[in-house]
């Protein structure tokens, strides 16, 4: 059987359907995944995220190895690196440096959007347009006229806009600092960040409609980011829980390490505290993370 984008897309969808962190019965997301051509958003040259024997990240060039490039685009657990050192490293060959942008793996994007749970007609703000692929999936669900996406990198923002327009999608694509949100399009029913933060920007919470959902990867002392899902219970205030361990690239202004106790985490670290017992609260004054005790099991 010849390898085609459609056959790879269908195989990838089947694999993710069998994963407990995949579609989990989310029909709209499954259909959107099969409809949106992921390969349309993957740049012609990307880096594989694992270093080769020489310690450098191999470049996958569509013009040189089109089959490998296409298969890489549909590996359920594989992110593809689209930028190193904020664009200072050109995609001309194997490279070293800090990853600063990627097209996230299909599995991570599916899990992200499943927890976000947008509905048709919801106003949605996406922080971190990147390639525009996640934007396209969101547009299929909420409708592109209800969707705003913001990207700090001018080149990536323009490329994503062109790719989206080529598929007949015209969400509002803004080039700017996503940490400030985009108040002109709010308030929002859903806000999702595709970059992690050390502290949740107050602008996101203030632009969330009461009852709305904020989903973001949050740096944690657990050796990974935690995907937190917060619900606005009143204007300017949201609370919720961590729903999954993930790995995302940090927003530019929050790359410098900070003490976790300064970021609202409880003292003592994660020892003996499961991440799924955490409650996260955020408002204009900052964030607070507490461990909610689990009730002891009853004797049978």
Active-site residue list: 104
Pairing of strands 278-283, 237-246: antiparallel
C-alpha distances out from residue 292 to 50, 242, 259, 264, 274, Å: 37, 12, 22, 15, 10
- In this structure, are residues 226 and 217 in contact, taking their beta carbons and an 8 Å threshold? yes
Which distant-in-sequence residues (6+ apart) come within 8 Å of 215 by Cβ?
Answer: 112, 115, 116, 190, 191, 192, 193, 227, 228, 229, 230
Structure tokens at 225: 């980011």
CA 150 – CA 142 distance, rounded (Å): 16
- In this structure, are residues 91 and 99 in contact, taking their beta carbons and an 8 Å threshold? no
Full 3-state SS string of 36-54? CCHHHCCCCEEECCCCCCC
């Amino acid at each position: 059987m010849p390898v085609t984008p459609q056959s790879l897309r269908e195989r990838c969808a089947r694999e993710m359907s069998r994963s407990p962190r995949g579609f989990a019965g989310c029909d709209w997301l499954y259909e959107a995944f099969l409809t949106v051509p992921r390969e349309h958003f993957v740049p012609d040259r990307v880096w594989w995220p694992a270093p080769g024997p020489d310690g450098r990240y191999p470049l996958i060039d569509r013009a040189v190895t089109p089959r490998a490039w296409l298969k890489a685009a549909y590996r359920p657990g594989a992110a593809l690196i689209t930028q190193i050192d904020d664009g200072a490293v050109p995609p001309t060959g194997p490279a070293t440096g800090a990853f600063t942008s990627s097209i996230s793996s299909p599995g991570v994007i599916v899990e992200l959007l499943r927890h976000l749970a947008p509905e048709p007609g919801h106003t949605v703000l996406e922080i971190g347009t990147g390639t525009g692929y996640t934007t396209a999936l969101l547009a299929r669900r909420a409708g592109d006229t209800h969707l705003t996406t913001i990207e700090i990198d001018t080149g990536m923002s323009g490329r994503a806009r062109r790719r989206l327009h080529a598929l007949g999608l015209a969400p509002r694509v803004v080039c700017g600092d996503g940490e400030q949100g985009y108040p002109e399009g709010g308030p929002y029913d859903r806000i999702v960040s595709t970059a992690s933060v050390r502290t949740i920007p107050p602008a996101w919470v203030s632009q969330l409609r009461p009852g709305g959902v904020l989903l973001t990867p949050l740096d944690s002392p657990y050796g990974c980011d935690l995907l937190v899902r917060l619900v606005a219970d009143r204007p300017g205030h949201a609370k919720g829980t961590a729903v999954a361990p993930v790995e995302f690239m940090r927003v530019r202004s929050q790359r410098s390490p900070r003490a976790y106790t300064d970021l609202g985490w409880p003292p003592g670290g994660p020892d003996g505290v499961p991440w799924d017992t955490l409650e996260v609260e955020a408002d204009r004054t900052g964030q607070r993370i507490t461990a909610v005790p689990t009730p002891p099991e009853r004797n049978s």
